Amino acid sequence: MIIRKSPEQLARMRQSCRIAASVRDKVAGKVGPGVTTGELAEYAGELIREAGAESAFLGYRGYPGLICTSVNAEVVHGIPGPRRIAWGDIVSIDVGVRYDGYIGDTATTVMVGVSDSDVLKLVHVTEQALFAGIDKACAGAKLFDISHAIESTAVEAGFSVVREFVGHGIGRSMHEDPQIPNFGKAGQGPNLKTGMTFALEPMVNMGGSDVEIMPDGWTVLTKDRKPSAHFEHTVAVVEGAAEILTRSE
């Protein structure tokens, strides 16, 4: 069942999402050569505590990090640690916070002095795919209209979308119904109604769509080890265009 939030519940979600967006942007601003992914996570933890919130990731199904940091061919769920970021890297910063009982979930991919035109295009198209999906998250549309818009944007640019990991409903729980694939046929799936809240998150690969999970049980890598980019917003279906709850202020 897809949970529809009341105006009061949406107001509480806006608070958690504002915190998540602020943490995402500030941590993204610290990404640079020589910085470790563990240092980024420590900084995120400080920001989350200062906001009176808590990480929605730490301990979730056993996940050991405060945020997810995924570099280059790492698609999602990279565990922060001693890895030092280098020139030419792309780094996904994925932040989830819980505040006043509700969760905000958001991600961005940061480019570190990237000059490779194919990588630049990958990151740009992945962000475009996210907003193409958001444009379809409106009352009266079908759920897979979102999926189709994301997939079409990526595939038409010559890239592939990850199929094993998907967007999702969100609210009091990190993962609520429905699952939202980044591929699908337009005009199918449940009707979208006001009050529904989703975490939309295209994961787009430069090469093939196949992925594998590393021995740590979390880090997802492209099977061909080509780069992958990841963007995510938490959105609410409202009257008219979707409301992006994790938009930068």
Which pLDDT belongs to residue 102?
98
Name residues of the chain where pLDDT drops below 70. none
Which pLDDT belongs to residue 249?
81
Beta partners for residue 197, in sequence order: 236
Spell out the domain ranges in the chain: 7-244
Q: Among candidates 96, 77, 80, 92, which has minimal Cα distance to 218? A: 77
pLDDT digits (tens, 9 = 90+) for 24-73: 999 999 999 999 999 999 999 999 999 999 999 999 999 999 999 999 99
Cα gap 169→103, rounded to integer Å: 11
Which pLDDT belongs to residue 128?
98
Q: Among candidates 84, 87, 99, 80, which has minimal Cα distance to 18? A: 99
For domain 7-244, give the fold.
Creatine Amidinohydrolase (3.90.230)
